[in-house]
Amino acid sequence: MIEQAPSSPPSAPTPDSVTLLGIETSCDETAAAVIRRTGEKTEILSDVILTQFDKHAPYGGIVPEIAARAHVELIDAAVERALGEAKLGLCDMDAIAATSGPGLIGGVLVGMMTGKALAMGADLPFLPINHLEGHALSPRISSACPFPYLLLLVSGGHCQFINVHGLGHYERLGSTIDDAAGEAFDKTAKLLGLGFPGGPVLEQLAKTGRADALAFPRPLLQRAGLDMSFAGLKTAAARAIEAEPLSETRKADIAASFQAAVTDILVEKTRRALAGFTPDAGEKRLVVAGGVAANQTIRAALQALAERDGARLITPPLRHCTDNAVMIAQAGAEHYLAGARGDLAANARPRWPLDEASATVNPIYGRGKRGAKA
């Protein structure tokens, strides 16, 4: 995702270690982290996440303008705290990485311009990072996860299968054609009156309900391929919520039935993806990343699937499933160690597919004025 530097002459070998500050502001988390990557091992020196939950809770969802203003208010404190906890200064960094898309453009701009300013002031390389690549590489923060692997990226804004061939080499296999699974979770939770953020609350409520209480649809389950759809499921849940008064029992049953439908879709599509994923040698690795990867019911179902298929399921720690700066620093560090030296002229991108070739030739949502949407 980053333009690689020209091959270094023999007298200037690629370094085997990098200490790097990462910044993440693509949605509603203002995050900064410092890591040291040596070979295939990552040491987390600091990991700061400042949330905006209280600012968005009255609206039942994320308001982009409020998020951007909050990032402006919080970003300096996040960076200062990250450096302080790492007991390092900018002079100790080899580079600075920041999310440069995709995401809410106001927030992306705040983090990216902060990263550029710090890089210019400290005379450091600036690495613009694709937020999705941060998720894609997040299992490599704490696990032995060599390339290639099959990635299910499932979050509030994205839901897709990616064949991760190697650093910067990503092949889209399938994607949601409408809503992402995490978005469906949050909007259903809002309709149930569960508050914000809704996904984790809905998961807790589902534990007390019956997963077979309502016959919710499983869109596209009978269609061949790996594309997914969650808009119809979200609509079915909305109609069930409106159909009769919501007792606590009915709320729990709707939550459990909705979660079961999402789980069934993800498991069946993942089964098909694994069937077609045949690495040349070694173990078959299935990586599940993104905020929805923190859902324990979905994790357990995918773990059972992986065991049946002879694959190894790899998931980041819960803290690194949701948006965080460690994964941005990780992506930056891997690119730096591969020879990239960044680009201060890089622009913020509200849309930035991991597999840009597929997005251009065969976009899931079609094209917009700003390029392929997915």
Read off the tokens for 88: 């390092």
Is pTM, for the whole model, over 0.85?
yes
Domain boundaries, the chain: 17-138+322-353, 147-315
Q: Residue 60's Cα: distance from chain center in Å?
A: 21
Q: What are phi and psi of 20, to 5 degrees?
A: -145, 140
Q: Which residue has the tokens 């002879």?
A: 310
DSSP bridge pairs for 95: 20
Do 17-138+322-353 and 147-315 share a fold? yes
Fold of 147-315: Nucleotidyltransferase; domain 5 (3.30.420)
d(CA 34, CA 268): 38
Output Rg (C-alpha) for the chain, integer angstroms. Answer: 21
Fold of 17-138+322-353: Nucleotidyltransferase; domain 5 (3.30.420)
d(CA 74, CA 240): 40
Quick check: helix, strand or coil at residue 249?
Answer: helix
**DSSP letters spanning 12-74:** SPPPSEEEEEEEE-SSSEEEEEEEEEETTEEEEEEEEEEE-HHHHGGGTS--HHHHHHHHHHH
Give the type of residue at 161: F
Q: pLDDT truncated to tens, each residue of the chain (374 aa)?
A: 554 444 333 334 568 999 999 999 999 999 999 999 999 999 999 999 999 988 988 887 889 999 999 999 999 999 999 999 999 999 999 999 999 999 999 999 999 999 999 999 999 999 999 999 999 999 999 988 999 999 999 988 889 999 999 999 999 999 999 999 999 999 999 999 998 788 999 999 999 999 999 999 999 999 999 999 999 999 999 999 999 999 999 999 999 999 999 999 999 999 999 999 988 778 999 999 998 999 999 999 999 999 999 999 999 998 999 999 999 999 999 999 999 998 899 999 999 999 887 777 777 654 444 444 44
